[in-house]
Chains A and B, each alone.
Chain A
Amino acid sequence: MYKTILAIRYLLKRRISYFSVIAVALCVFVVFVVITVLSGLTAEFKRSTYLSLGDCIISSKSLVGFGYYDDFVKILEQEKDIKAVSPVVRNYAFVTGTLESDKEPRLERTVEIMGIEPLTHSQVTEWGKWLSYHKEDVINAFKPNFAPNLAGCVPGIGLMSERDSEGDYQIPKELPKVKFEVNCLPLTAKGALAKAGAGEINTKTFYCSDVAQSGLARADWNQIYLPFEDAQVLCGMDGQPKRANAIFVKFKAGVNLEAGCDRVRTLWIDFVKRKANFPLANLLEKVKVQSWEVYSRQIVAIAETQQTLMILCFGMIGIITVFIVFVVFYMIVSHKSKDIGVLKSVGTSNGDVLLLFLGFGLLVAICGSAIGSAGGWWFLVHINQIEDWLFRHFEFQLFDRRLYAIGDIPNAIDLKVLGCIILSAIAACLTGALIPSWRAAKLEPAETLQVNQL
């Protein structure tokens, strides 16, 4: 009982204890806020990536693609666990974008083109929800309102508009008449240029029929969606058999991702065997069946690596906290050596002295964690208001919305993360307090009492 009383009194009456409480509180606050925001950003990025891919991707890394995709799509559509299937053509193209009223193009750059069927692709991904003008009419997404008979395309919103400092794209009520000239190098099934000589590129003009805003910078700033057949023609994939680069698959609700992917993989292996003697069967062997997580591993890994690095940095802060607690406790034990001598003279055991100071460390950890958690919680709840206020008064943004494809700063609090941070803080404090407490426990009473007499 006296250990608890003394630990509480040491905490309340020793000003130096406040420094260790503040150090722990600051550490918990910073780690809590940064991990929450970074985890939110990573989770948001992963979610957006998932929503742009579906559950399972059957794809070839080669730009040549693979044939018989339509046969396999039919097989997949008969599967009870599969909700929708979308074949996709992907390639790179040089694009010029020109306003109808201008003579000179405003955009000249290489982009990724993606040939899709709007309706099926919207069933597999969230593509339909990314549109600004055809949300309710996805099937006509490639029909420009001003001339439905012209070939339409849907550029990523970053190709049409720039983000303002609030993070919003300016989308006009009336879609401007912009034509995109798409120039693509068509490849044969063997990977050679389909057109040798002077006219070796395929060119087609598309009119902007909508804009897509996925929330993924690489898609919004670097991608143009085209009608599937047009993309096939541009890329030279319209020969027999017709080719695609990927098939995106969406499972029905409740289907286990790995089990679903395994089933698709089995079907694909059977399919490849059955097509073994068909022309271009060799292309099928290069195809992989992957879950969206594996497929997007490379890009998601970048975000996760950043998060891991940041957590490691804060691990260093944790070590500094341990050191601060160690120093403070070392000083307290030095100042309290007389008390330790007195306690031992009235029968306190070494173990009880150890427990007394470890209990003190625990109190520091609990108080510091409570203050840091409460402060972090409040800060996270108000982080977007604080950022708005800072921007209004000082034009400061934590994440410059002209550069980062995010709206609000993610601030969803994960109690498990908070629990881990608090437990880590407690472990750090106990670690920092352990050696000084051990030293206190080993002090000889006569030594401390005599020293204090001098």
Chain B
Amino acid sequence: MSRDDYILKAEGIYKSYRMGVADVKVLKGVDLAVKRGEFLAIVGASGSGKSTLLHIMGVLDKPDKGVVRFEGRDLSQSSEREINRFRNKMVGFVFQFYHLLDELNVLENVFLPAMVGKGVVGWLASRKKAKKRAAELLDQFGLSERANHKPYQLSGGERQRVAIGRALMNEPKILLADEPTGNLDSAAGNGILSVFEKMHSIGQTIVMVTHDERIASRAGRIITLADGKIT
């Protein structure tokens, strides 16, 4: 396999949190490489550091030690501006609790990353295109009828599909999903996994964190995190 086949690499990642007077070591030298177009599941018990690893890979958190490389580039050397651009364009996040903005409707939540990535003038110039793209994503996830609804008017599964739409809005190179089905019933969870499978089938790289091995089995590759290390 050539070097370019790895889109994201975590090398020697250490992370600890201070809990009172003690340091809790969550990650103890994790090495992980994600191949382009791969659907990877990270499984592990609760508190094993799965979410922390995902956040570090998405530059939402900083490791105490270690390097995260995106397409070969060390992200710790990036400026704040470059990090923001990375979060906006290169990566899409899906969270267990959806984290939709209550003040925005469904359509606005989906095209939020497009708005964030552009200034006022840029947004005014591209908003039609962005809204069209957001509407297409909603249509793709069966949520066209819900475009003008507020998040609190949707079911859990619908909210998570909106969150996926938001994550995919700027056509990121990698999708990072943190327990995407953790807050859903099995039917809704299956629906979300179907969406992931569909996205994977058209080449989307996906890294999914879950504690449920049955859900992880839907991924192309599974790695297990235990005691702060990949086993």
Contacts and interface: CB of A to CB of B under 8 A. Distances in A.
B110 to A, nearest CB: 11
Interface stretch (B69-77, B99-107, B185-193, B222-230): B99-107
B60 A344 contact: yes
Contacts of A445: 55, 60-61
Contacts of B61: 444-447
B114 to A, nearest CB: 9
Interface residues of B, number: 36
A347 B80 contact: no
Interface string B98-138: 01111110001000110111111001100000000000000
B81 A349 contact: yes
A347 B86 CA distance: 7
Contacts of A352: 116
Kindly list the 9 A-B residue pairs having the minimum CB-CB distance in the complex, ordered from nearest. A347-B88, A9-B103, A446-B61, A2-B115, A346-B113, A446-B55, A347-B87, A446-B60, A1-B123
Interface in A414-452: 444-447, 449-450, 452
B198 to A, nearest CB: 22
A410 to B, nearest CB: 45
Contacts of B60: 341, 344-345, 444-446, 449
B103 A347 contact: no
Interface of A: 1-2, 5-6, 9-10, 13, 338-339, 341-350, 352, 444-447, 449-450, 452-453
Contacts of A6: 101, 103-104
A348 B118 CA distance: 10
Given A6-B101, A445-B60, A347 B116 contact: yes
B16 interface: no
Nearest to B55: A446
Interface stretch (B4-12, B35-43, B89-97, B200-208): B89-97
Given A1-B124, A9-B104, A446-B55, A347 B99 contact: no
Interface of B: 51-52, 55, 58, 60-61, 80-81, 84-89, 93, 95-97, 99-104, 108, 112-113, 115-120, 123-124, 166
Contacts of A5: 104, 108, 115
B182 to A, nearest CB: 9
A1 B80 contact: no
Nearest to A2: B115
13 contacts: A1-B120, A2-B123, A6-B103, A13-B103, A341-B60, A345-B87, A345-B99, A346-B88, A346-B113, A347-B88, A347-B113, A452-B97, A452-B99
A446 B115 CA distance: 22
B97 A453 contact: yes
A342 B112 CA distance: 10
Contact of B166 (A346, A350, A449, A450): A346
A342 B80 CA distance: 17
A447 B62 CA distance: 11
Nearest to B102: A13
Given A1-B124, A2-B116, A445-B60, A349 B84 contact: yes
Nearest to A349: B84
**Interface-centre pick from A2, A5, A444 (highest chain B CB count, 10 A):** A2
Contact of B87 (A10, A338, A344): A344
A313 to B, nearest CB: 38
B207 to A, nearest CB: 15
A444 B61 CA distance: 7
A352 B113 CA distance: 13
Contacts of A449: 55, 60, 95, 99
Contacts of B115: 1-2, 5
A452 B58 CA distance: 18
Given A1-B123, A9-B103, A348 B97 contact: no
A2 B118 CA distance: 10
Contacts of B99: 338, 341-342, 345, 449, 452
